[in-house]
Structure formats: structure tokens, C-alpha cells
Amino acid sequence: MRLYGFYSKSISIVLCFLFIQSIFMFNQIFIDNAYSTTAEITKEAKDPLVLKWAFIAAALVTGLATIGAAIAVGLVGSSAMGAMSERPEMAGRALIFVGLAEGIAIYGLIVAIMILGMT
């Protein structure tokens, strides 16, 4: 069921606000103190600005990939359930497509690990 009109606009505004707020909270809580603990762990001191942007990039890549995977799984899953209600033998094929949509989040996590591994 799709939402039209006022409700869909208000939901997207609330989700956008929550996303921006979570980015600022992540910056305040983790990133401001992360470079000091990372410098203590590593033997060589690295540039705090580089580490800060690396953490931001890793967080954005993981978050956006997860949001994209959630949208894809929602669309593919609802279509798969509709197809399975008409033809139950389509269950195996439908699960393959849902699994492919979930792979987007795993790709985002791998890229984030690669970004953090380079710092």
C-alpha cells in the first residue's frame, strides 16, 4: 500500500531529519574522540582530519547501503509475496531475488571495512 499526499511527505521529512540528526550525533559521540584513541593504539600518529573523514565515509557508505538494501528488500519482498500467492512454486526464485537485494548491504559493509583498513 502506498501513501499519497500529506502522509508521504511528512514521513519523508521525518526520515530525512532523523538521518541528518544521526549523522551529527555520530560525529559528536564517536568521531571527535576516535582519533585520540586511534593515535594511542597505533604507534605512529596519523592526521586526525584524515581519520575523521575516513570514519565519516565508512559510516555513510554503510548507512546508505543499508537504506538502499532496505528499500530493495521491501519492494522485492512485497512483489515476491504477491507472486507466491498466485503461484506457490515460485518461492525458490523469489527468495533468490530477495537475497540479491540483501547483498547490497553486505557490499556497503565490505567497502567500509576497506576504507577503514586504508587508514
Instruction: Return the pLDDT at 1.
Output: 47
CA dihedral 64, 67, 69, 72 (to 10 degrees): -130
55 vs 16, more confident: 55
pTM above 0.75, yes or no: no
Q: What is the mean pLDDT of residues 4-10?
A: 54
Range of the domain at 59: 49-119
Q: What is the CATH number of the domain that holds 56?
A: 1.20.20.10
Residue 89 forms part of a structural domain: yes
78, 24 in Cβ contact below 8 A? no
Q: With respect to residue 27, please indicate whether it lies within any of the assigned structural domains.
A: no
Is the pLDDT higher at 93 or at 20? 93
Question: Taking 50 as the threshold, does the pLDDT of residue 18 lie above it?
Answer: yes
- Radius of gyration (C-alpha) of the chain in whole angstroms: 20
> Residue 57 domain-assigned?
yes
Q: Residue 8 domain-assigned?
A: no
Q: Does any domain span residue 15?
A: no
Number of domains in the chain: 1
